[in-house]
Amino acid sequence: MSHLADTWTLTAQCPSRLGTVDVVTRFLKENGCYITEQQSFDDRLADRFFIRTEFTPQLTAFDAEAFEAAFADRAGEFEMVFELAAPGARIPVVIMVSRADHCLNDLLYRYRTGQLPIEIRAIVSNHPDLANLAEWHGIPYYHFPITPETKPEQEAQVAKVIEETGAELVILARYMQVLSSRMCEQLSGRAINIHHSLLPGFKGAKPYHQAYEKGVKLVGATAHYINDDLDEGPIITQAVESVSHADYPEDLVAKGRDIECLALARAVALHVERRVFLHARRTVIFER
CATH number at residue 38: 3.30.70.260
Contact 149, 132 (CB under 8 A): no
Average pLDDT over residues 259-270: 97
Q: What is the pLDDT of residues 59-93, one digit of tens each?
A: 878 899 999 999 999 999 999 999 999 998 899 99
- Tally of structural domains, the chain: 2
Contact 41, 113 (CB under 8 A): no
pLDDT at 42: 96
| Continuous segment of H or E residues that includes residue 72 | helix 64-76
Which residue segment(s) compose the domain that 30 sits in? 8-85
**Residue 201 is part of a domain; what is its CATH number?**
3.40.50.170
> Average model confidence (pLDDT) for the chain?
93
Instruction: Determine the pLDDT at residue 135.
Output: 96
pLDDT mean over 8-36:
96
Mean pLDDT within 121-126: 98
- For residues 56 and 110, state if they share a domain: no
Least confident segment among 116-130, 175-189, 226-240: 226-240
Handedness of CA 166, 172, 176, 179 (dihedral sign): positive
Give the percent of the chain with pLDDT over 90: 82
Beta carbons within 10 angstroms of residue 214's beta carbon: 11
Same domain, 78 and 95: no
Q: In what side-by-side order are the strands of the sheet with 33-43?
A: 33-43, 48-57, 8-15, 81-85
Instruction: Write phi, then psi, for 222 (nearest 5 degrees).
Output: -130, 130
What residues have CB less than 8 Å from 147, skipping those under 6 apart?
Answer: none
Average of per-residue pLDDT across 97-114: 96
Section 132-148 average pLDDT? 95
DSSP state of 2: -
Q: What is the pLDDT of residues 193-243, one digit of tens each?
A: 998 887 567 777 788 888 899 899 999 999 999 988 777 889 999 999 999
pLDDT at residue number 1: 44
Residue 3 is assigned to a structural domain of this protein = no
Q: Same domain for 77 and 96? A: no
Cβ atoms within 10 A of the Cβ of 12, count?
Answer: 22
- Residue 134 counted as domain residue: yes
pLDDT at residue 10 is higher than 50: yes
User: d(Cα 233, Cα 227) in Å, to the nearest integer?
Assistant: 5
Q: Do residue 277 and residue 145 come from a single domain?
A: yes
The reply to whether 2 falls in a domain is: no
Average pLDDT over residues 154-175: 97
* Residues annotated catalytic, as ranges: 231
Asked if residue 165 and residue 255 are part of one domain, the reply reads yes
Please say whether the beta carbons of 95 and 171 come within 8 A.
yes
Same domain assignment for residues 32 and 125: no
- Is residue 1 in a domain? no
